[in-house]
Amino acid sequence: MRQIWFTRGYLARLSQIPTWQACARSAHSVFCAAALVAVAGVVVGAGRTSANTQMTAAAFQAWVQDFRRDALTKGISPQTFDAAFAKVKAPAKSVVKSVSTQPEVVRTSGDYVSSLVSDGRVQLGREKLEGHRALLSSVESAFGVDARVVVALWGVETYYGRLSGKHSIIQSLATLAATHRRRAKYWRAELLAALKIIEGRHVTAENFKGSWAGAMGHIQFMPTTYHSHAVDFDRDGRRDIWDSKADALASASKFLKAKGWVPGEPWGFEVRLPENFDFDRAGPDVKLPLITWQKKAVVPAKGIGWPEVNGRLRLLLPEGASGPAFLVTQNFSVLMRYNPSTRYALAVAHLSDRIAGAPDFAQAWPSAKNALRRGERKELQRLLSAKGHNIGPVDGIIGATTREAIRAFQKVSGLPADGHPSQQLLSRLRTASNN
């Protein structure tokens, strides 16, 4: 995944865009996330949308002919191109609609994780772990990534291959490349990469299916990611992430290894914080050895003793000080390379634990009533800005800058400085602003 617009602030914003489920059937695809970042400009920047939702079939055909000339100079044969585009005559309405309509749904991390880590998904994950034991063991030996994590990722991405998407990849990517002008370069590169997959005879044009945003197969790789990380693990000459579980699971593992997965290290674990914990000295950039957290009187939440951890850990508070707390390792950050969302990584991590037989979270998640809607997030930003805090643009997106401003306000107000937006915080700001 090489989206050059993935700035730190943008990544922080992404977890606040409550529209993951809009990403077609493969709602939780990683690389679908990349696509959502790409469309976020449309979602968030109403008034500066770049999607051409009215493109005619004739204009689209002209675009295809222009793209064909380009593709042929880049190694795609006329036969491959023409076969791939044989049924692609106009922009796909469903794709244009998916990009353009992003309903606001307020979901907390707890809601998000629970919806993905259902009893059914846990049970089927255990069956997959058992049923594919030999394959998973050899994949784990080859890449060093915990088999339970690989199975969990597979489960979160596509419900173990059941929901990998039925959209034509060429139709979807051509629609996005032709109509979504502001990200046209990105979609064009993905479309070209998709054609190269067909050119390499890894998949037939008819079977070349995925999400509306171009995420493909069991593990929802985008085409460019496919070229960098897909492997032919069953050695039949094709890198087939659509029909070969061996290729798909090995490819996901190879990706995680390439992003820095540390073999043998856990993703992290749930912890309990002591009364009067100093949140100000445990911000998102603070990484400490286990022993230092122990000295701060942090304890494992589930009362099962400390896991073995070698690397440094950071404190993760997905819903602020009033929700579950976690200490996470580098491997958690590696999961976020698959999809740059804290709640996504937590869903994969938690599912992997549950598949391994661990209990549910020990601490309760705050209610969704506590979450802020977009208008309220903007109000929060305006109030912070009026108090002299730098929050960047008032866009309703709680990124790193807004979180820092929240922490600063919490500190001077004597509140736990967790940087988390909530109804209580908004009320407090309103009161403070009226005085």
Contacts to Ca ion by CB under 5 A = 232, 234, 236, 238, 240, 244, 247
3-class secondary structure, 142? helix
CB atoms within 10 A of CB 269: 20
Closest residue to Ca ion using C-beta atoms = 232
Query: Which of 234/395 has CB closer to Ca ion?
Result: 234
Handedness of CA 83, 88, 94, 100 (dihedral sign): positive
Query: Which of 226/365 has CB closer to Ca ion?
Result: 226
Q: Could you tell me the smallest distance in angstroms from the CB atom of residue 204 to Ca ion?
A: 14
Q: Could you tell me the smallest distance in angstroms from the CB atom of residue 154 to Ca ion?
A: 17
Distances (CA, A) of 72 to 64, 183, 192, 273, 377: 12, 22, 10, 60, 48
Q: Could you tell me the smallest distance in angstroms from the CB atom of residue 234 to Ca ion?
A: 4
Query: Which of 128/245 has CB closer to Ca ion?
Result: 245
Beta strands in 280-321, from DSSP E residues, in sequence order: 287-288, 299-300, 313-316
Query: Which of 232/280 has CB closer to Ca ion?
Result: 232
Q: Could you tell me the smallest distance in angstroms from the CB atom of residue 233 to Ca ion?
A: 6
- The answer to whether 9 touches 68, Cβ cutoff 8 Å, is no
Q: Could you tell me the smallest distance in angstroms from the CB atom of residue 250 to Ca ion?
A: 9
Query: Which of 18/210 has CB closer to Ca ion?
Result: 210
Q: Could you tell me the smallest distance in angstroms from the CB atom of residue 209 to Ca ion?
A: 17
Phi, psi of 300 (to 5 degrees): -60, 135
Nearest one of 338, 313, 335 to 326, comparing CA atoms: 313
Nearest one of 38, 311, 276, 266 to 172, comparing CA atoms: 38
Query: Which of 239/354 has CB closer to Ca ion?
Result: 239
- Kindly tell me the burial class for residue 417, based on how many C-beta atoms sit within 10 Å of its own C-beta (0-12, 13-18, 19 or more): buried
Tokens of 93: 């309405």
